[in-house]
Amino acid sequence: MIRSHRAPAWPRLGRRLIRLFLALFLSPGALAGQSQPTLTWQGEIRPRLYAREPVDGQWDQWTSMRTRLALDARFDPGLGLFLQIQDVRFWGEEVTHRDRSADAMDFHQAYLEVDSIPGIGGLVRGGRQEVGLAENRLISAPDWGQGGQSFDGVRWIRPLGESRLDLVYLTLREGSSVAHDHNAALLAAWLALPLEGLGSVDLLAIHDRSGEPDGNGQNTVGSIWKKSSGPFSFRAQGMYQFGTREGVDVSAYMLAAQGTLAVLEGKGTLTLWYDHLSGDRDPDDNELGAFSTLFGARHRYYGRADYFLNIPDATGGLGLRDAALKLAFTPSPLLSLNLDLHSFLTAEEGALSSRHLAEEADLWIRYRFREALALEVGYSLTWAGTAMEELDRLEGTGNVGYFMTSLQF
């Protein structure tokens, strides 16, 4: 007897779920008595021509492009759904011109948002999402990288009068997946408090852990104080890390301070900036002294030439000192000019003959050509010091230039 082979149930169920999903959004009266959601479309296309020298001893240049399309659906009352598709690729990277695989496309964000939670209040956001906390130093939603940064997890945002509390749980690695053998997660709490007459303070606590045999059980705690008075503003930050990192005890710290003066009738600013990230003084004492920037916005803080994207590895575990002068001028709402001057040293000398890493000058200009279209051009020049050469990071000078357009709606 010949038996007929029936199609598996799961593909049919998947097709039904897709049809139901489309019906909810596209068909009027899909569910009796339920009001239709308010739909808002967002999008961006951002090509960037980038050139860098030295790359294998010579100039190299490429064009990358970020394309994003997002749907923000708002329901009544206090219920939202946000979906954002992203494609990031180099021009000409496909194997053939007929390649239609779209292998660089993925959900950058996809989360459900529920407001006014009964009993506790606030807003809960669950799913894949961008997360930026406390000046984006350690957990950030950076915009410079074409791929950005997003996490899988849950975030609770609770306004408390003029204050605000954020509690975050992020799954960094799932041991049951094909890609990872061990779990890793991050928990964070951020409290922003106004201080009567004294500015405001941010309190931040982070615990990142992993289940590897030599995994993490690391804690980061600290605060940021911000104060403004007339044309002058000031902020200071201190963070301390303790626990274990890669199975080794860690004791590390970060200190940062900046003062900004508004000039030219508020059209310009002059900022003095100093960062100190501790290094590992003795690599043989079974204690790590190098501060880790975790998932922070490195391009924003440690030079736009991106030589210090991964600290502590980028400085050989010896930490970083960054003294900077930052100038900004905005002659009109359409045009802005920026110049940053950095001097980089390692925090510890270690086996190096000098702590001198580099000097760097970053210049960039942004012009809003149309309401939805911005143009940006930038150039960075880096002069390597003895430490940079001994760490095999750069010899002589380094050059970076780019031209970028961004169309957003």
Per residue in 247-261, pLDDT tens? 999 999 999 999 999
Closest CA to 146 of 63, 242, 209, 228: 63
Residue 1 has pLDDT above 50, yes or no: no
- List Cβ neighbours of 289 (8 Å cut-off, separation of 6 or more): 250, 251, 252, 278, 279, 280, 281, 282, 319, 348
Per the model's pLDDT, the better-predicted residue between 205 and 215 turns out to be 205
**Quick one: pLDDT at residue 100?**
75
Query: 355: left (phi > 0), else alpha (psi -120 to 50), else beta?
Result: alpha
* pLDDT for residue 21: 46
**Across-strand partners of 328?**
269, 338
More confident residue, 340 or 103: 340
Res. 220: pLDDT tops 90? yes
pLDDT at position 36: 82
Least confident of 87-101, 333-347, 349-363: 87-101
Average pLDDT along the chain: 91
Bigger pLDDT: 38 or 103? 38
Residues of the chain above pLDDT 90, percent: 80
CA gap 200, 382 in Å, rounded: 36
- Please report, rounded to a whole number, the percentage of residues in the chain having pLDDT higher than 70: 91
Cα 365 from Cα 239, distance rounded (Å): 33
Q: How confident is the model at residue 3 (pLDDT cuts 50, 70, 90)?
A: very low
CB 384: neighbour CB atoms within 10 A? 22
User: Which of residues 325 and 37 earns the better pLDDT score?
Assistant: 325
Residues 359 and 382: their CA atoms lie apart, in Å, by: 6
* pLDDT tens digit sequence for 303-329: 999 999 999 999 999 999 999 999 999
Distances in whole angstroms, Cα of residue 236 to Cα of each of 73, 233, 257, 345: 39, 11, 4, 20
Note if the bond before 331 is cis, omega within 30 degrees. Answer: no
The confidence band for 8, taking pLDDT boundaries of 50, 70 and 90, is: very low
pTM, two decimals, is: 0.87
Beta bridge partners of 389: none
